[in-house]
Amino acid sequence: MSVLLDVRALEVRYGGIVALRGIDLHVEEGEIVALLGANGAGKTTTLRAISGLLPVRAGEISFAGASVRRRSPDAIARLGIGHVPEGRRVFTRMTVRENLELGGYAIASHRKVADRIDEVLAIFPRLHERIAQRAGTLSGGEQQMLAIGRALIARPRLLLLDEPSLGLAPLVVAQIFEVLRDIHKRGTTVVLVEQNARAALALADRGYVLRNGEIARADTADALARDPAVVAAYLGGE
Partner 1 sequence: MSLLGLAGVTKRFGALTALSNVNLNVEEGAIFGIIGPNGAGKSTLFNLLTAIYRFDEGSISIGGVSIAGLTTQRIARLGVARTFQNLRLFGNASALANVMVGEHLLLQANIVDALLNSARERRERLEAERRARELLRFVGVVGVEEHFARNLSYGTQRRLEIARALAARPRLLLLDEPAAGLNPSEKLELVSLIRAIRDTGATVVLIEHDMGLVMNLCERIAVLDYGEKIAEGSPREVREHPRVIEAYLGAPA
Partner 2 sequence: MIYTYAFVAIAACVAIERFHNRRAKATIVLLLAAFLAIAPRFYGNDAVFSVLADAAVYVMLALGLNIVVGFAGLLDLGYAAFFAIGAYTYGMLASPQFGLHLPFWALLFIAAALAALFGALLGAPTLRLHGDYLAIVTLGFGEIVPQIFQNLTKYTGGPNGIAALDVPTFFGHSFGASVMPYYYIALFGIAFALWISRNLRESRLGRAWMAIREDELAAKHAGIDVLRSKLAAFAIGASFSGIGGVLFAAKLALVSPDLFGFQVSVLIVSMLVLGGMGNIVGVVVGSLLLTIVNSALLPQINSLVDTAFHTTLDLSNLHFLIYGAILVGIMLFRPEGLLPSRERRAELHHAGEAAVDA
Partner 3 sequence: MHEFLAQLANGVELGAIYALIALGYTLVYGILELINFAHGDVYTFGSFVALGVLVGLRAAGVLHGAGLILGIAAALIAAIIASALLNAAIERLAYRPLRKAPRLAPLITAIGVSFMLENLIELWQGSAPVPFPNVIPNPQLQIGALEVGVQQIVVVALAIVTMVALHFFVQRSRLGKAMRAVAQDRDAASLVGIDVNRTIAITFLIAGALAGVAGFVGGVSFGSAWFLNGFGAGLRAFTAAVLGGIGNIAGAMLGGFLIGLLESFSTWLIGGQWSNVAVFSVLILVLVFRPSGLLGESLPEKV
- Interface positions with partner 1 (CB under 8 A): 38-40, 137, 139-142, 166-172, 174, 195, 232-238
Q: CB 238: neighbour CB atoms within 10 A?
A: 4
Given partner 1, partner 3, partner 2, none, residue 32, with its beta carbon under 5 to 8 Å by kind, binds none
User: Residue 18: left (phi > 0), alpha (psi -120 to 50), or beta?
Assistant: beta
Using CB under 8 A as the binding rule, whether residue 82 contacts partner 2 is answered as: no
Using CB under 8 A as the binding rule, whether residue 52 contacts partner 2 is answered as: no
Judged by CB under 8 A, the number of residues near partner 2 is 19
**Phi, then psi, of 114 in degrees rounded to 5:** -60, -40
Using CB under 8 A as the binding rule, whether residue 57 contacts partner 3 is answered as: no
Which of 61/117 has CB closer to partner 2? 61
Shortest Cβ 144–partner 1 spacing (Å): 9
**Phi, then psi, of 63 in degrees rounded to 5:** -125, 125
CA 122 to chain centre: 21
3-state secondary structure of 92: coil
Q: Reading across the β-sheet that carries 158-162, which strands appear in turn?
A: 81-84, 158-162, 189-193, 32-37, 206-211, 214-220
Tell which one of 17, 66, 132, 171 touches partner 2 (CB under 8 A).
17
3-state secondary structure of 129: helix
Q: d(Cα 94, Cα 56) in Å, to the nearest integer? A: 32
Using CB under 8 A as the binding rule, whether residue 144 contacts partner 2 is answered as: no
Shortest Cβ 74–partner 3 spacing (Å): 5
Q: Which one of the spans 33-41, 64-72, 107-115, 145-153 is the region binding partner 2 (CB under 8 A)?
A: 33-41
Strand partners, 177: none
Which of 10/127 has CB closer to partner 2? 10
Using CB under 8 A as the binding rule, whether residue 189 contacts partner 2 is answered as: no
Given partner 2, partner 1, partner 3, none, residue 2, with its beta carbon under 5 to 8 Å by kind, binds none
Per-residue mark of binding to partner 2, 194-223 (x: CB under 8 A): -------------------x----------
Shortest Cβ 16–partner 1 spacing (Å): 12
Q: Which one of the spans 4-12, 38-46, 93-101, 123-131 is the region binding partner 3 (CB under 8 A)?
A: 93-101
Using CB under 8 A as the binding rule, whether residue 68 contacts partner 2 is answered as: no
Q: d(Cα 192, Cα 157) in Å, to the nearest integer? A: 14
**At a CB cut-off of 8 Å and minimum separation 6, what does 178 contact?**
none
Q: d(Cα 158, Cα 145) in Å, to the nearest integer? A: 17
Asked if residues 13 and 206 have their Cβ atoms less than 8 Å apart, the reply is no
Shortest Cβ 58–partner 1 spacing (Å): 23
